[in-house]
Structure 1
């Protein structure tokens, strides 16, 4: 990816404290972007910022709408945004709890609206173009056992992405999402360490492997970059063919 796509650009990455968000923040900083790294874990942010001086840590709980907007404001304008923060609470459908529903939708969906509104309104006022990538999941398009609320929240992310693309496109702000399969972050490796559980999922992936973090980071960077100027409103599977079967 050409570095000049990101030189003199400011990128906001939510959920940047670990996993995909952390790797993405570091990669974007390497490409020359100023990175606003958002997480509720101050310790994770300190470790991340110590690795590259182009990374600016912002510690805020994305469940707090007003605090989130206030935390973003000082760093505007932000031309590029990756809404990556998400949580998963697994339960069978018959055991879904109201509090778990609220937690997942607050982080996985509502925080996208909050952060994107703040950044997009500012870009529109300044008449600047931009690109937003929402991190969805294969769970948006396929039923996964014990993932009732998670599947619903990620389907909401993709629906939201399409409307954002339609409404913000007129202002030259592109909005797309990515739908990863199981990603082998530190948490992913623990969650899928059981061979029997892993074999069941792998059998549904034609490439017969899970995604590495870089497999998700690079497509996101492509969607942020000038190489994808006519891609808008797309939900891109990064799943080894899972959704094709």
Structure 2
């Protein structure tokens, strides 16, 4: 059973999603929130596996709310505005439903969620939870004990992540979001849908680029505000 939460300032949107979800036996409604502030409080108290999230809401926009979550549940965007689709996919949402959407389209989005969950459960564990100083990374043939201070940055590479160290690079079968959740937030920062950077490795920032030793890392448009808030 998958617990889901609806976050939308329009009551009719809640009704439509609930009516569609009733047809799916493995979806259980655990809450209705009508703004993102209310949702933040709810998530601190309840376990949620999936969020149906509106974008244009008062007080705090849906995507800004999503950027504030350190370990977000799976997310399906439900919006009347198509122009936010690119930004939302940078945040690795499962799907983007453009209102008004049919049951068939709703079912297609939910199928993506199920597939994502199944793929995650089938994966062998490749990353051990980080301690305060190190992390275990499982490569193809051996498990590497890596000191966090030696990681310069991480880059998404299809279904893998390239972990760039001071003198080498490891290719790990995991998602960039998984690393973002595992690595300590006081040492690493997500700056792009494809990049997580060690704060210690940052030499300078100019415009939409971060300079580190040996390279330039782009800052994603949807991450600019968060990067500015964290680093300045």
Q: TM over 0.5, yes or no?
A: no
Q: What TM-score do you get using the length of structure 2 for normalisation? A: 0.28
1 or 2, which has the higher helix percentage?
Answer: 1
RCO (CA 8 Å, sep 6+): is it higher in 1 or 2?
1
Q: What TM-score do you get using the length of structure 1 for normalisation? A: 0.27
1 or 2, which has the higher strand percentage?
Answer: 2
Which structure: larger Rg? 2
